[in-house]
Amino acid sequence: MMISPLQAKLLHQLVCIFKPCRVLEIGGFTGYSAIAMGSALSLSSPNAKLISLESNIEHIRLASCYVQKAKLSSVISFIAGSAEDSIEKLHEMQRGKHEMFDFIFLDANKNAYTNYFDLIMRYDLLSDNGIMIVDNVLHWGQVHKEAGYEEAANRQKISKNVRKVASKVHKFNKHVKEDPRVDVVILPLFDGLSIIRKKHVS
């Protein structure tokens, strides 16, 4: 469930390159990815902030300890609850201000990826020049099989749950690809990473 050290370094590097002012993480877990991004934020801008959404309060307690040890408590904050509810809460909190996020990292419940994406787009949470990074979009190397790139006879046996999640992630990938508001590229790195950005209308 936790990103690898190399992936953490990539996130850190991307934040250093893009220098976002506001970062949204959906799926906090132990706080490892938040610290990877937050440590780059503290270098790029003294006022930059990261908000991490996490449904499990025990995970937040653990992550908060590590954030404190990393001396990033002034940069990273957590919102407890389901991601859908927390995104709605963020929308309510910023009503009238319409503050967007320049960098969004999505690594939460794969079955709800489409819901998260739709809420982000509905509330216009991604800034015009921002990027959204989505993890696990190839899900254990099973998504391309669900997409029909391997004959059923050649498939290795996998659990029903893995296949079910892979099917959901495949539908998410198609959903994003067919959305006229964004451009997306899927990189075959780690467990699959999507980079999503808004299309610029001339």
Tokens read off for 96: 């009238």
Per the structure, the count of domains in the chain is 1
In terms of residue numbers, what domain contains 175?
5-198
* CATH number, domain with residue 43: 3.40.50.150
**What's the rounded Cα separation, in Å, for the pair 171 and 177?**
10
**How far is the CA of 131 from the CAs of 27, 74, 127, 159, in angstroms?**
17, 23, 8, 33
Are the C-beta atoms of 125 and 87 separated by less than 8 Å? yes
pLDDT of residue 6: 97
pLDDT of residue 155: 58
pLDDT of residue 195: 98
Q: Taking CA 17 as the corner, what is the angle to CA 88 and CA 128, rounded to the nearest 5 degrees?
A: 40
pLDDT of residue 145: 80
Are the C-beta atoms of 157 and 139 separated by less than 8 Å? no
pLDDT of residue 25: 98
Tens of pLDDT along the chain (202 residues) come to 789 999 999 999 999 999 999 999 999 999 999 999 999 997 777 789 999 999 999 999 999 999 999 999 999 999 999 999 999 989 888 776 778 999 999 999 999 999 999 999 999 999 999 999 999 999 978 888 877 676 654 556 778 888 889 999 999 999 999 999 999 999 999 999 999 999 986 6
- Helix, coil or strand: residue 186: strand
pLDDT of residue 156: 65
Rg (CA), the chain: 17
**Amino acid identity, residue 188?**
P
